[in-house]
Amino acid sequence: MTKYLITLITCVFFATGLQAQNSNLILFTENGEKFYAILNGVRQNDKPETNVKITDLNANFYKLKVIFDDAKLGEKNFNVGLNPGTETSVMIKFHAKKNEYVLRPVSETPIAEALPPAPNQTVVVYSATPTPAPAATSVTQTTTTTTGVPGDNMNMSVGVNMGDMGGGFNVNVSGGTTHTTTQTTTTTTTVSHSHTIDEPVAPPPPPPAYLPGYNGPYGCPVPMAPQDFESLKQTISSKTFEDSKMTIAKQVLQSNCLLTSQVKQIMGLFTYEQSKLDFAKYAYAYTYDIGNYFKVNDMFTFESSIDDLNQYISSQRR
């Protein structure tokens, strides 16, 4: 009975620990453009910033909208995938060939090993509640005007001065009616923004099961469609030299995501062991099911290549 209780308590604490595995997301622009970060329709930073750290994220996927402070730069929608218990840094940069802003993963670190915030970094706790719109303000101005007009209320003094040789009769009149006029002017000032910042929306639906049965960590949100992947393989296979194959493969990965099984297939298109190893290292950051990445070891001939890849992956997780 005692052993049963201990096991039950251990399971409860373990499950609680899993639920508490929140994540952090760091967003920053390559060239210092200021922006608002909108997660699932809710603005996170109160004013435009160049570097924002959002903490206590409790889901694996978020819809991200970046709204630039400079209206000429516009806004851009992205999907962001996070691994529980990690702090992920992502760069927002302008892609000249695509003529648009893109996201580039920079690093992923366990929260316990994350560095303290940078001096220019704004740290906010994730909020799912929209910020209230600024209320209109009213200013009331009252003007009082006082005028004097001769009228019914008069003060009269009569002076009589008589002497031995003659006399005089003096009449002094003073006074008037006071009229007071009050004028009230009300001015209403409404504060508005050039962008719609908070956009309350329903919670996003669960992410599609791109790999049914997989419950491990994710390295990127949406893997390449099968038809696009087949086209990529044909393009790589059409090249004779290893360098040309590697260049094409890396170019495509910069804006795409692969399954571990797809990484293995591309590794099979290279002739030399070193080329396979170089691609496996590069593709790790662009792989959907990184929990399955050990399977790429099947493509190596030498144990030293496996050790080299494992060391590289370990260095990326620090």
Tokens coding 269? 């298109």
Quote the pTM value.
0.44
Give backbone dihedrals phi and psi of 24, rounded to 5 degrees, phi first.
Answer: -115, 150
pLDDT at 280 over 90: yes
pLDDT in the model for residue 9: 47
Higher-confidence position of 65 and 216: 65
Give backbone dihedrals phi and psi of 272, rounded to 5 degrees, phi first.
Answer: -95, 145
Q: Under a CB-based contact definition with an 8 Å cutoff, are residues 23 and 84 in contact?
A: yes
pLDDT in the model for residue 16: 44
> Which residues, at least 6 apart from 64, have a Cβ–Cβ distance to it below 8 Å?
27, 37, 38, 39, 77, 78, 79, 80, 103
Which of the residue ranges 79-83, 111-115, 163-167, 182-186 would you say has the lowest mean pLDDT?
A: 163-167
Which of the residue ranges 43-52, 168-177, 199-208, 249-258 would you say has the lowest mean pLDDT?
A: 168-177
* Band of pLDDT at residue 199, cut at 50, 70 and 90: low
What sections of the chain are H helices per DSSP?
2-19, 226-237, 242-253, 260-267, 273-283, 303-316
Q: Under a CB-based contact definition with an 8 Å cutoff, are residues 37 and 53 in contact?
A: no
pLDDT at 17 over 80: no
Average pLDDT, the chain: 78
Give backbone dihedrals phi and psi of 10, rounded to 5 degrees, phi first.
Answer: -60, -40
**Average confidence (pLDDT) over 83-109:** 87
**Average confidence (pLDDT) over 75-97:** 88
CA distance 297 to 303: 9
CA distance 64 to 82: 12
> Which residues, at least 6 apart from 93, have a Cβ–Cβ distance to it below 8 Å?
29, 30, 31, 101, 102, 104
pLDDT at 264 over 90: yes
Q: How many residues does the chain have?
A: 318
**Judging by DSSP bridges, how do beta strands 61-68 and 100-110 pair with one another?**
unpaired
Residue-wise pLDDT for 301-310, tens only, equals 999 999 999 9
**CATH code for the part of the protein at 2-125:** 2.60.40
Higher-confidence position of 87 and 3: 87
**Average confidence (pLDDT) over 23-46:** 94
pLDDT at 61 over 90: no
**Average confidence (pLDDT) over 281-294:** 94
pLDDT in the model for residue 241: 94
pLDDT in the model for residue 4: 47
CA distance 130 to 197: 9
pLDDT at 130 over 80: no
Instruction: Please state the domain extents for the chain.
Output: 2-125, 137-189, 226-316
